Structure 1
Amino acid sequence: MTSPSDVEGAGTVSGLRLSVIGQISRPVRDIPTAVAWYETVLGLPHLYTFGNLAFFDCAGTRLFLSAADGPVGEPSVLYFRVDDIQSAYDELRERGAVFEDAPRLIHRHADGVEEWMAFFADPDGHPLAIMAQVPPPE
């Protein structure tokens, strides 16, 4: 069996370099419920709703919510960067987000930078997280 690195020219496409992700799609059961939650609880700017589609701005990346025809399934975790994870956790809880646990240390890099995360779910039970990097004390 060959791996992508065994294929001649793998990893290069004639100068093409992909940039930031422009849009992420997520299925939901009910557009009005999802719009209210993502706008009110998360505070994401609602760009527009068109039929069974809703769009939000996530610091330049669009979040595209679409009403599912069948079971919603298990989408990927959306990780939102925050500057102060404890403050973000406290504020999101006040707005109605239900977290699995308090923010916790996930990893400490060799240079002392810490990765912290806290996980919660949207109204359809889809996983989301807040994440922060904490520099080592000076």
Structure 2
Amino acid sequence: MQPQAGEGFGAIGQIARSVTDIAAAERWYRDVLGLPHLYTYGTLAFFDCGGVRLMLSANDEGGAPQAAILYFRVADIVRSHEEMQARGITFLGAPHMIHRHADGTEEWMAFFADNQGRPLAIMSQVRQD
């Protein structure tokens, strides 16, 4: 099933931050900061920030946490990918499903870089009928 058709970017759908200790970060963001915890999947913890999803990921490489990644919502990830490529944007790969939720909703993403090489992504949720 293809994502629903649509034009342009929607709201920012997700911001990713790397952390050195995922368990400690999950507790802090949930219990101290008070963000609603959505779910944890392996070394990833997800929170709701007023409709924008915050993804915390364990920094497996040690060292300092990496810069945040902005994920832009699009209605049709395949079409957006094609249109962006036509404008000269180079993607690291084709749009692909990265997760299927318990209700069957699929998370699709495709990654690219800005003019300074910093990571960005487009994302779309595909609901199965």
How far did 1:11 drift?
3.4
**Please, which runs of 5 or more residues in structure 1 have no aligned partner?**
13-17, 22-73
* Aligned-partner Cα distance in 2 for 1:114–1:85: 12
State the superposition RMSD in angstroms.
Answer: 2.7
The reply on whether 1:110 has 2:102 as its aligned counterpart is: yes
| Other structure's SS at 2:81 match | helix
Name the residue aligned to 1:11.
34
Q: Which has the larger radius of gyration?
A: 1
Name the residue aligned to 2:86.
94
* Aligned-partner Cα distance in 2 for 1:112–1:19: 23
TM-score, length-normalised on structure 2? 0.51
* Aligned 1:1-138 pairs, distance under 5 A: 4=28, 5=31, 11=34, 75-136=67-128, 138=129
User: Cα distance 1:105–1:124, how it changes in 2: closer, same or farther (>3 A)?
Assistant: same
Alignment deviations for residues 6-52 of structure 1 (CA, whole Å, 9 cap, x no partner):
x7xx739xxxxx8578xxxxxxxxxxxxxxxxxxxxxxxxxxxxxxx
* Aligned-partner Cα distance in 2 for 1:83–1:19: 20
User: Cα distance 1:111–1:11, how it changes in 2: closer, same or farther (>3 A)?
Assistant: closer
Give aligned-pair identity as a percent.
Answer: 51
| Other structure's SS at 1:91 match | helix
Alignment deviations for residues 77-103 of structure 1 (CA, whole Å, 9 cap, x no partner):
110000000000000000011000000
Amino acid at match of 1:97: I
Name the residue aligned to 1:27.
none
* Aligned-partner Cα distance in 1 for 2:111–2:73: 12
TM-score, length-normalised on structure 1? 0.48
* Aligned-partner Cα distance in 2 for 1:120–1:80: 11
Name the residue aligned to 2:14.
none
Structure having the larger proportion of residues in strand: 2
* Aligned-partner Cα distance in 2 for 1:92–1:101: 13
Report runs of 4+ in structure 1 exceeding 3 Å deviation. Answer: 2-5, 18-21
Larger RCO (CA under 8 A, 6+ residues apart)? 2
Q: How many residues align?
A: 76
**Please, which runs of 5 or more residues in structure 2 have no aligned partner?**
1-23, 36-48, 53-65
